[in-house]
Chain A
Amino acid sequence: MIGKHRRELSVAAAYLLVLGLLGLFAPQFFGPKPLVDFAVRNASVLVAASGMTLVILARQIDISVGSQASVCAVVAGLLARSGLPMPMVGAGTLLAGAGLGAVNGWLVAGLGLPSIVVTLAMLVILRESLRYLREGEFVRGLPSDFQWFGMGQGTGQWLVVGIALGVFAAMAWGMRYLSAGRAVYATGSDPEAARLAGIRPRLVTFEVFVAMGALTGLYALLNVVQLPAVDPNTGKGMEMQVIAAAVVGGAAVSGGRGTLIGTLIGVLLLGTINPALVFLGLSAQWEKAIQGGIILLAVASDGLTRGSK
């Protein structure tokens, strides 16, 4: 059991260490307000990182999610401004994401192109098209029911966290107990064996990309409802963040190995570093170095313990 979840445990240990440091030197981090902020801030990241875990489990990668999120954010803003009711806006945003994911999925599963190249191209294409069309202008003049789904900050915050946790729990349960979830593991472990077992690996791969797109749409939605105007750069650069969270949490880029619980711990750990540095009074200039160091340490410790066996 311990051997099987070694990575999850070593990352959890690192997380507890950071929490311990915070408890010693900056106990105000554990106040109600910072904790709520932390939960709201990382809710959307958890959603996207869960999607990325699926993609990585299926032996693929999607580096276009940041650009997808920007497109979805602008779509959400424009739909809301056109006067659609909020549930329709949400559905439209998720659909837009799923559509973008389907393009990736078709290129990867349908045409058999390598996902890293396909999504690298999509990253650039989507980002540049969006910039050309919007020139970075905020989507303003949104209706009052846009922010926090029109429910006010208190309820809205819990709704954002609740949706994210609900989606995460459903996915974690499904990956373990549903045949669809096992099919993703099977496809990622050995596509040929999966096919012989009656699974259609190409279809699974396609569906994984569509799910990633829809979850990216949800990521964008959960982000933009926190603010009254939509930033067209929403999600820029988040691909690195969610890929890092997934791999730090133990998802193997060779596919078929990893859990969503591990991803949750990865999100928690990486999400804590930034506020922790502020609370500990450390300068922003070392933040990237510390982040990179922690990623390398987490994966290296895994490699070391595995090597010593």
Chain B
Amino acid sequence: MASVPAPSPSIRLEPAQAILLVLLAAEVALFSAIGTNFLTLGNGFEVLRLSVEIGLLAVALTPVIVSGGIDLSVGSLMGLSAVIFGTFWRDFGLTIALAAPMTLAVGALAGGLNGLLITRLRIPPLIVTLGSFSLFRGLAEGMTGGVDNFTHFPAAFLFLGQGYLPGDIPSQLPIFLAVAAGFWVLLHRSTVGRSLFAIGFSPEGARYAGLPVDRRVGLVYVLSGAISSLAAVIYVAHLGQAKADAGTGYELLAITAVVLGGTSIFGGRGSIMGTLLGLLAIAVLQNGLRLADLPAELAGVLTGALLLLAIGLDHRAGRSPGRTHAATTTLPDDEVMIVKNAQVAVICASILAAGLIVGGTNVYLVGSLRDKGPTATMSPASRTLPSPSLEPRPEARQLTIAMMPKSKGNAYFIACRKGAEDAARERNIKLIWDGPTDPDPAKQNDIVDTWITRGVDAIAVAVENREGISSVLRKARAKGIKVVTWDADADPDARDLFVNQATPRGIAEALMDNTARVLGGKGEFAIITASLTAANMIAWQKEIEIRRASKYPDIKLAELRPCDDLQKKAFDETNTLLASNPNIKVIMAICTPAVPGAAEAIKQSGRTDVKVVGLGLPNDNKPYVHEGITDTVILWNTADLGYLAVLTAQAVVEGKLKAGDPKFEAGHLGVVTLEGDNVLLGKPFAFTKENIDKFDF
């Protein structure tokens, strides 16, 4: 067995890092060609700002993984730290300057718990942190009920996450660089770092060599905990809110960055430099794809493919001996796979060539589409059109409207999108449709930020997170972009108009009134919600409770259960509710997949005395409405909502519509009224047995 590898010197690049550098260069070249405003200093800083939180986690995870461990709990610990930070500041009345270090101490303590279980009880890190992954997030949800949201932090603190230092440098960047430098010294320039490599390479060997293995391993988990808390504090400043869902899913992104950077998942090899490059490769990819108006899913697919490619290229036989290694690296009949530099060069060249081909076909496609005339260019599928700023059209300039749903992959928003696309086609508007693909509440901000860089005429957002997104929408308005909100509103000064299909109050009252009617004014009901932390669900639950308390005191909310937006889980939860509490006579399902899920559970249980009142799509629920299981489904015409949002955005950009106008001519919807700065689609509609067949969406 070879000697412990020397800490990687900063001057000589490892193959993994060379691959990444080439890859980064290819990305930059590609996106400069097909993205709008990609190669600008401002965009460079924006990319860095958006990668700080995940970057901190990745940097802290590098020594963990180098030492042969893993920490899956970092994202959950961010949620817990955010909530604790908020509690210290708001409930205990501590100053920020005091609350932040105390939060870091709590994070270090939580990391210490991981370290203790791993070193003292000899439980594998994967299992320990899998448990604390649930535990930390669960504690955060438990402390706040998932609902409590700490906001209105002082401006000086928000500056840390949103402000700029002289030279347009994002204010959190120096902190990140300092932490990265600190970890670089720790890992590559200190005896502690050397011992971590030794431990990752061979823990037994390190022990026999007299290294304090347990203390060193414990240290990296304590550090990873403390840095997770630091990431949480910056995240809170960035978003302006502290909630239990902070950092959801960040652990996988951070691990991806570390592994992409050439750190061996089995330990013994890795570098901070590589992690930073891996982080940049992912961040640039995401940002570039958005600026090229390509869908967010592609970023995920390409990140996964990059990961496979990088690890495949980097794979060398015999580099990962040790205790708990995957069979394959020690599989004896493995042929020795040494990737030679020449092979690396060939593969990198082919990536580059592929990139150029994609870029080239895009340019070609744009040209051919433009030849076909305006009608061919309307569909959002042809996302490769040049932006108006690059290609000013001699005749009327084509407007670019960027539109964002709360999340992608939700049937409700597919229907909205259809209406939006109709409007775009009708009015010759270039429509960009993109949104978050995961439940990370910070994602909407990232996307709006990128759209500001890209340059669009108007942004139309279905707001997931009012406190979080308003700051970035104000920034968009300051740059002259018109902002319209739809589906759910932001702060009034953060947008020009709100396309109001129904207020949380309107929805809640319709749901509660129908529930009360079914119950005959007396009895118990249960709510199936999407998740305990989703902002819109919380708003509805609050209004439902207000309505219930004021108008229906004889009705009792027996249970509130989350279903993770899954039909099957809603089905299972309803089954449990029906069996555990026979007094429940109405299941109120307030997320789209839960309505048919709950109805199916009632149908299968044979209980004819329980009904569903829900918020969902008519097509999902027709059979249950006809069978009399689902009494009422509340919704509005979602296609009309998308249509109206686009037309409103267009009218605002063209100066034909402003807050205070009495009415507005909205294409095939006819005349739509305004109330102050709200464009009203109409009241929520109750689909029942009598009318549901007239609708198809």
Complexed CA–CA distance, A226 and B126 (Å): 33
B139 within 8 A of A: yes
Per the 8 Å Cβ criterion, residues 243-278 of B in contact with A are 252, 255-256, 259, 265-266
Please, which residues of chain A bring their CB within 8 A of the CB of B117? 296, 299-300, 303
**Chain A residues near B128 (CB-CB < 8 A):** 296, 299
CB <8 Å contact, A135 and B409: yes
**Is there an interface contact between A113 and B308, defined as CB atoms closer than 8 Å?**
yes
Asked whether, in the complex, the Cβ of B567 is within 8 Å of the Cβ of A128, the reply is: no
B571 touching A226, Cβ below 8 Å: yes
> Which residues of chain B come closer than 8 Å to A117, judged between CB atoms?
259, 265, 307-308, 311
A116 proximal to B (CB < 8 A): yes
Write the nearest CB–CB distance from B140 to chain A, whole angstroms.
Answer: 9
**A244: Cβ under 8 A from any B Cβ:** yes
User: Which of A33, A229, A233, A255 meets B409, CB within 8 Å?
Assistant: A233
A-contacting residues, B534-582, CB 8 Å: 559-562, 564-568, 571-573, 575-580
Contacts of A244 in B (CB 8 A): 130-131, 134
Residues of chain B within 8 A of A3, CB atoms compared: none
**Are B564 and A237 in touch, CB under 8 angstroms?**
yes
Tell me if B124 and A129 are in contact (CB < 8 A): no
Q: How far is the CB of B475 from chain A (nearest CB, A)?
A: 28
Contact status B130-A240, CB under 8 Å? yes
Q: Which interface residue of B252, B324, B331, B334 has the most chain A CB atoms within 10 A?
A: B331
Contact A292:B133 (CB < 8 A) given known A188-B327, A233-B409, A287-B138: yes
A288-306 residues at the B interface, CB under 8 angstroms: 288-293, 295-296, 299-300, 302-304, 306
Determine if B361 is an interface residue (Cβ-Cβ < 8 Å). Answer: no
Chain B min CB distance to A201 (Å): 5
Question: Which of A46-54, A94-102, A160-168, A277-285 lies at the interface with chain B?
Answer: A277-285
**Complex Cα spacing A170 to B230, Å:** 50
Q: Which of A108, A122, A236, A247 contacts B326 (CB 8 A)?
A: A108
| A264 to B579 Cα, complex, angstroms | 24
Q: Given A140-B619, A191-B330, A254-B124, is A275 in contact with B134 using a C-beta cutoff of 8 Å?
A: no
Question: Once the chains bind, are B604 and A153 in contact (CB under 8 Å)?
Answer: yes
Q: Is A234 an interface residue, CB under 8 A from the partner?
A: yes
Q: Does A26 contact B (CB under 8 A)?
A: yes
Query: Contacts A114-B311, A284-B560 hold; do A28 and B579 have CB atoms under 8 A apart?
Result: yes
Cβ B328 vs Cβ A109 within 8 A: yes
Contact status A121-B561, CB under 8 Å: no
Q: Which residues of A contact B70 (CB under 8 A)?
A: 116
Across the interface, do B266 and A229 meet the contact criterion of CB distance under 8 Å?
no
A102 to chain B, nearest CB (A): 15
- In this complex, how many residues of chain A approach chain B with their Cβ under 8 Å: the count is 93
Which residues does chain B contribute within 8 Å of A295, judged by CB atoms? 127, 130-131, 134-135
Q: In whole Å, how far is A248's beta carbon from the nearest beta carbon of chain B?
A: 9
Q: Is the CB of B312 within 8 A of A300?
A: no
B414 touches A34 (CB 8 A): no
Which residues in window 185-220 of B have CB below 8 A to A?
none
B300 is an interface residue with CB less than 8 A from chain A:
yes
Contacts A113-B312, A121-B304, A136-B410; is A229 near B265 (CB within 8 Å)?
A: no
Whole-angstrom CA separation of A28 from B593 in the bound complex: 28
Expressed in whole angstroms, the Cα–Cα distance for A200 and B332 within the complex equals 9
Report whether over half of chain B's contact residues are helix, strand or loop; otherwise say mixed: helix
Q: Point out the residues of chain A lying under 8 angstroms from B605, CB to CB.
A: 33
Contact-residue size bin, chain B (C-beta under 8 Å from the other chain): 35 or more
**Which of chain B's residues 569-627 have a Cβ closer than 8 Å to chain A?**
571-573, 575-580, 593, 596-597, 600, 604-605, 619-620, 623
Q: Which of B134, B297, B315, B567 contacts A231 (CB 8 A)?
A: B567
Which residues 54-104 in A have Cβ within 8 Å of B in the complex?
Answer: 58-61
Interface of A is mostly: helix
Which of chain B's residues have a CB closer than 8 A to the CB of A287? 138
The residue in chain A whose Cβ has the minimal distance to the Cβ of B328 is A112
Q: Bound complex: CA of A131 vs CA of B337, how far in Å?
A: 35
Chain B residues with CB under 8 A of A201: 327, 331-333
B568 touching A195, Cβ below 8 Å: no
On chain A, the residues within 8 Å of B300 by CB distance are 124-125, 127-128
List residues of chain A with CB within 8 A of the CB of B317: 112
| B141 partner, pick from A127, A137, A232, A289, beta carbons under 8 A | A289
Contact with B along A148-168 (1 / 0, CB 8 A): 000001000000000000000
Shortest CB distance A76–B (Å): 13
Q: With an 8 A cutoff between CB atoms, is A253 at the interface?
A: yes
A301 CB to closest chain B CB (Å) equals: 9
Instruction: Collect the chain A residues with CB atoms within 8 Å of residue B305's CB.
Output: 121, 125
Please encode chain B, from 300 to 330, with 1 for each CB lying within 8 Å of some chain A CB and 0 for all others.
1101110110011001010010011111111
Residues of B within 8 A of A26 (CB): 580
- Contacting pair B256 A131 (CB below 8 A): no
CB proximity of B540 to chain A, nearest CB, Å: 16
A24 interface contact, C-beta 8 A: no
Complex CA distance for A137 and B323, rounded to whole angstroms: 45
- Taken together as a complex, chains A and B put the C-alpha atoms of A240 and B564 apart, in Å, by 14
Q: Is A41 part of the binding interface, using a Cβ–Cβ cutoff of 8 Å?
A: yes
Given A202-B331, A228-B623, the answer on whether A299 and B567 have CB atoms closer than 8 Å is no
Q: Shortest CB–CB separation between residue A44 and chain B, in angstroms?
A: 9
Q: Is B122 an interface residue (CB 8 A)?
A: yes
Q: Is the CB of A292 within 8 A of B329?
A: no
Question: Complex Cα distance A134/B120, Å?
Answer: 47
Q: A121-B308, A132-B295 are in contact. Are A113 and B141 (CB under 8 A)?
A: no
**Smallest CB gap from A61: residue in B:** B126
- Subset of 16 A-B contacts with CB under 8 Å: A112-B334, A116-B326, A121-B308, A135-B408, A138-B567, A138-B620, A227-B571, A229-B620, A236-B564, A252-B124, A278-B573, A285-B142, A289-B139, A289-B141, A299-B128, A306-B122
Nearest 6 A-B pairs (CB), nearest first? A289-B138, A292-B134, A292-B135, A303-B121, A288-B138, A128-B300
